[in-house]
Structure 1
Amino acid sequence: MKTVRGFWLGVGIGGAVLGAVPVYGVLVQNSSIAQKGIDALRLQYPPYGLTGRKIAIGQVEIGRPGQFGVDKAASRNRVVSLARAFYRDQPAKTNTNLDTHAAQVASVMVGDSKAVRGVAPSAKLYSSAAATPQRGGQAEECRSAEHVAMQNGGDVRAINFSFGEALQQDPRPNAKLDGNALLTQCVDWSARVHDVLYVIAGNQGKGGIPIPTDNYNGMTISFTRQVNDLFSKIDFSNIGDVAPSIFKRNDGVETSLGGRRSVSLAAPGTKIAVASLKGDELNQIGSSFAAPHVTGTVALLQEFGDRNLRLSCKRGEGCALPWTTDARRHEVMKAVLINSADKIKDSGNGLALGMTRTIFEKSNRTWLESDAFKNPKIPLNIQMGAGQLNAFRAYQQFSPGEWNSSQPVPAIAWNYGKVSKFKALPGLASPQNHQDYVLEQPLQQGSYVSVTLTWDRLVELNDKNKNGAYDVGESFSDRGLNNLDLYLMKAEATDVKQSIWSSVSKIDNVEHIFQQVPKTGRYKIRVVFHEQVNQPTQNYGLAWWTAPASRKL
């Protein structure tokens, strides 16, 4: 969103050789996708070889990048290659609605040059220009997003929003960031209906473009800057402060109403190498360039997941655990990305789960000093969410596959599960409104446990013409949010009152635990359906990362 122009100095050397270890330019090796940033470049090398091949991702902005064969500007741009470009829900018109900001954002996702290498250079990017230069075009932006979500046979895994709408442009009287702007509701509806993870750039504020940063079912991304050559500190340009006077003044205007924590993650956003509409190399700053790091990482993980699905799924027999099509669920991706984020640097003994760096708030406080660590009713840090994106750790979190609650589970894994809330019938015992995940191995005293639970708010389309699609002039209905809670308990415990720690927010649809194990022993994770607001059964994504007890520790 906010941009500051600059230029790379120096010349990249080397190039990728098919079938050999790729050699990238010096600038790429030192960029935000490398080890100093999100460590995604490692995944592009053997033995991983993940570049987003055959994975569709999307982009919606006011304008769009150029497409080769359609736009004159694209003939000079060899950095970004699009799968398709659109004007809202129609094919792009030649040389119209082109925008250098959209091109720069796209280059973070799919750029492929010696100096500007994207997170997922082989992913198929579908980009739509909503073309609402006067803003106040939430209906057109919603239609654009839905159209992108339906591309690639309806199989688009993530959609990037590096733009937004101002509260002043919202037609609602006394508009607030309460999750009910049309575009915000559209994002939550589409995430559920089209099973796509929306990644939203997180600049907020009265003069900014905060809608739809107050979404529930996507991810809102803040941005970090470099300290001692590592991306590790929330940039001062980000909105978010827990000082009582500032927090009260900003509530619903610069941050989500009622204290809900809408920021999911931070990602690098200063001096980011991008390519302009014509392919010129620049440095940029802002959450606009942090969000596509997350979107590109989804493509890498989904390529890995699809590799495993090709081995796991047999025609006529279906798919077998640990790899089923649950790996494609947006709730799973959200949980995996959040749970694998960097918070505090591991000292080398594995007790901090191998995290690579400590992430600092603007005031230099760490996660361990924040209210999110101390208060079980607050799942995420207001500035950094769960920490900073780490693509390689996300791969480590995702790679063990899916394990359900029917048997003891490994130290690191994930699950796409469901839990039901039913009332007890007269004369019968109360039904079980929870799922327990008993960890197979004892956990080491002093080690950290990281667990993330995600689920959807239920937003429904008021489909006037009954065509199953959003049309300009239609609206959405907020059916509310079922309340799920998360507990870490001893394996033999039966009552949540005996839990070691919990995450029990009443207003968020993310629960997150990051706490130390008090004593070496067997533990379990419990997901509880606490309060029913809409449907009696709730699907969820769950990811966990623990450190088993070992003599080496």
Structure 2
Amino acid sequence: MKQKILCLTAINLISFTFPVNALNESLSETGIDVLRLQQAPYNLQGRKISIGQVEIGRPKKFALDKLNPLHKKLPIARLFYRNEPAQPNTNIDNHAMMVASIMISNHKGLRGIAPSAKLYSGAVGSLKSAGQPEECLTTQNIALQNSGNVRAINLSFGESLARDDRETPQLDGNALLTQCLDWSARVHNVVYVVAGNQGRGGIPIPTDNYNGITTAYSMRKDGFFSKVDFANLSLSPMGIGKALIRQEINVGARRSVTLLAPGNKINVYNVDGIVEQVTGSSFAAPHITGSIALLLEAGNNFLQQNPTSWTKDYQNHEVIKAILLNSADKLKDNGDGNLLGMTRNVFTQNNKTWLESDAYLNPEIPLDMQMGTGHLNTMRAYKQLKSGQYNYKEKVSNIGWNYSKIEIKDSHDYMIQKPLKANSYISITLTWDRLVELNDQNNNQEYDIGENFINKGLNNLDLELISNNNGEKIICSSVSKVDSVEHIFCPISETGEYKIRVKFTNQVHQGIQSYGLAWQSQVGL
């Protein structure tokens, strides 16, 4: 059986034909590897998990809008226009529908990542009457749904610097919408997933957030989604748009992109129930948001099965972010486990690998400019989560995660119980929040239009891998002064005992800092 696909280009309507069984390619092992997680023995569908979406418009919902019968059972919980219930057949947007289908489509011909998750979607409305205040209000409203239990929110839209009312707009983390996301991530415990800017003079705000995940998108290479697409921002923008594109990269040394996900020629349902093929970071972001729903369902299952050894710490946004970034693919494992079971080689636009990146070579740079920590692999993230939580006060497994709090000038040492294997690699990721507070003029603990936010800054945490062979020796470190992520991908030169050290190096605001940590390594014989 074959399905006809329509794809709109700049000036042409192009018709493609694909076998139906190829429609879920980005969800397969050549993409993010979630199809296996949807099947036995995992059976993950996003059950009892609520996720969110904020767009200019909104998708359609049965019993509210006129819609194609194919969308009748789409698991949309509620729809909103800003912070009010959506009105029938208003603010409907094809883009929002296509993004939603990647996350929650439950049609057997083209299933989404989390077809049983509940989606709350908010429409900002026409940009003629809306700006960052209305966008923040809409975002907050979604975060408050389901009694405040919406754990991931997808933003496949953004704001132009040209519309920012600051005197000198730039990507410094201080636009109102960016501060809104960083405040909400902490207050509402939400992982915000933001579509990365594509360098066309477009929508860079809030790609300069600290506390969420900003994604670039990948294209196919050698049969896998494994290469940064050419439409993403590159390290050295060239051509007539060079000055404009430079404005749309974070100021200073802080990197924007944290993770890579499929976004080139992705098959989605539009509002009319027709399958279209689309490209862009807008369609990479929902791959991550949908994956978070599966991880949270898995965490709920693990907690129910192991109530004495599991806590709800896996639900913290810092932990989910650390797990996703730490489990990302960089270099293909040849079967011996030395590269931690990674499934593909990931390439930048100019065909360079992680081993050639400044993020690998410079301890002050935790993220590659183009790929972040690598390519999303939801199966590896599942295994990272399943490994369980380990406290720094006791010896830990070679793979695990933790959520903890650290005081200024203190350090937490995670002693790995078994010797690590020579000629293998270890991956470690540390995440924490920038502190943004609401200037709450009416003391209702919610953002209201006319209010603003206060940037309290970013405490500085550092990350080290230390060898205990013949005394302590720092083998690798990640010591960025500007990022809210530290990441180590480090070769183990000799079999022996090692420990991971988290350090609270410099206090900028509060003297106690929460953090998420994830690690994976290969033990020796």
Q: Secondary structure at the match of 1:9?
A: strand
- Report the alpha carbon displacement of residue 81 of structure 1 after superposing the two structures with TM: 3.0
| CA deviation after TM superposition for structure 1 residue 80, in Å | 3.4
Normalised TM-score (structure 1): 0.90
CA distance 1:71–1:245, change in 2 (3 Å): closer
Q: CA deviation at 1:206?
A: 6.0
Measure, in 2, the Cα distance between the counterparts of 1:548 and 1:58.
39
| Partner SS state of residue 521, structure 1 | coil
Alignment partner, residue 256 of structure 2: 262
**Match runs of 1:3-152 below 5 Å:** 4=9, 9-10=17-18, 12=20, 26-28=21-23, 30-73=24-67, 75=69, 77-78=71-72, 80-134=74-128, 137-152=131-146
Aligned-partner residue type, residue 211 of structure 1 = I
Query: Counterpart amino acid of 2:523?
Result: P
Gaps of 5+ in 2: 1-6
User: 1:287 aligned to 2:281?
Assistant: yes
Q: By how many angstroms is 1:116 displaced?
A: 1.8
- Residue range with higher mean Cα deviation, 95-104 or 221-230: 221-230
1:532 is the counterpart of 2:514: no
> Kindly tell me: are residues 142 and 374 of structure 1, through their superposed partners in 2, closer, same or farther at Cα, counting changes over 3 Å?
same
1:241 to partner: Cα distance: 1.0
Tell me the distance in 1 between the aligned counterparts of 2:394 and 2:8: 50
Cα separation, 1, equivalents of 2:89 and 2:14: 26
The equivalent of 1:439 in structure 2 is: 416
How far the C-alpha of 1:196 sits from its partner, in A, is 0.5
CA positional deviation for 1:113: 1.8
Matching residue's letter, 1:439? I
1:107-162 deviation digits (Å, cap 9, x = unpaired)? 00001223321111111110000113337611111111111111111111100000
Deviations 1:395-423 (A, max 9, x none): 0111011111011100110000111016x
- What do residues 430-461 of structure 1 show as CA deviations (whole Å, max 9, x unaligned)? xxx10000000100111000000000000000
Cα distance between partner residues in 2 of 1:3 and 1:466: 48
Contact 2:199–2:231 (8 Å) recurs in 1: no
**Do the aligned residues in 2 keep the contact of 1:34 with 1:41 (CA within 8 Å)?**
yes
2:76 partner letter: L
Per the TM alignment, residue 311 of structure 1 is displaced from its structure 2 partner at its CA by 3.4
**Structure 2 residue aligned with 1:15:** none
Change (3 A) 1:210 1:79: farther
SS at match of 1:499: strand
Q: Once the two structures are superposed, what CA deviation does each residue of 1:326-384 show, in whole Å capped at 9, x if it has no partner?
A: 01000000000000000001111110001000000000000110100000000010000
Percent identity at matched positions?
53
Confirm or deny: 8 A CA contact 1:485 1:530 kept in the other structure: yes
Change (3 A) 1:297 1:62: same
Cα separation, partners in 2 of 1:169 and 1:206, compared to 1, 3 Å: farther
For 1:519, give the aligned amino acid: E
**What is the number of residues matched between the two proteins?**
516
Q: 1:358 aligns with which of 322, 339, 345?
A: 345
Which residue in 2 is equivalent to 1:421?
408
Residue in 2 that maps onto 1:324:
311
Deviation at 1:177, TM superposition (A): 0.2
Q: How does 1:229-378 map to 2 (within 5 A)?
A: 229-242=223-236, 253-313=247-307, 320-321=308-309, 323-378=310-365
Is contact 2:262–2:283 with CA below 8 Å preserved after alignment? yes
Contact 1:451 1:543 in 2 (8 A): yes
- The structure that is strand-richer by fraction is 2
Q: Report what 1:505 is aligned to.
A: 480
Give the Cα separation in 2 of the matches to 1:285 and 1:244. Answer: 22
The whole-number CA distance in structure 1 between the counterparts of 2:422 and 2:508 is: 38
1:251–1:257 CA contact under 8 A, matched in 2: no
Q: Secondary structure of 1:489's match?
A: strand
1:406 corresponds to 2:393: yes
Task: Supply the distance in 1 between the matched residues of 2:424 and 2:378 (Cα, whole angstroms).
Answer: 22
Runs of 4 or more consecutive aligned structure 1 residues displaced over 6 Å after TM superposition = 243-248, 492-495
Structure 1 residues 420 and 3, CA, compared in 2 at 3 Å: closer, same or farther? farther
Instruction: Give the counterpart of 1:393 among 380, 390, 396.
Output: 380
Distance in structure 1 (CA, Å) of the matches to 2:237 and 2:353: 16
Tell me, yes or no, if the aligned pair for 2:38 and 2:45 is still in contact at 8 Å: yes
Question: How far apart are the structure 1 equivalents of 2:242 and 2:424?
Answer: 36
1:466 and 2:453 are equivalent in the alignment: no
Structure 1's 478 and 252: CA in aligned 2 closer, same or farther, altered over 3 A?
Answer: farther
Q: Are positions 1:547 and 2:519 aligned together? A: no
CA positional deviation for 1:248: 9.7
Rounded to whole Å, the distance in 2 between the matches of 1:74 and 1:463 is 43
- CA deviation after TM superposition for structure 1 residue 228, in Å: 2.1
Question: Per-residue displacement from partner, 1:51-108 (whole Å, max 9, x unpaired)?
Answer: 1001000000000000110001255534733111111111110000000000000000
TM superposition shift of 1:6: 5.5
Deviates more, 1:290-299 or 1:124-133: 124-133
Q: Distance in 2 between matches of 1:6 and 1:357?
A: 31
Q: Which residue of 1 aligns with 2:493?
A: 518
Give yes or no for contact 1:27–1:115 (8 Å, CA) kept in 2.
Answer: no
Contact map agreement 1:57 1:123 (CA 8 A) in 2: yes
**Letter of the aligned partner of 2:30 in structure 1?**
K
Structure 1: 5+ residue stretches without partners: 13-25, 314-319, 423-432
Query: Match of 2:213?
Result: 219
Distance in 2 between residues matched to 1:241 and 1:247, nearest whole Å: 14
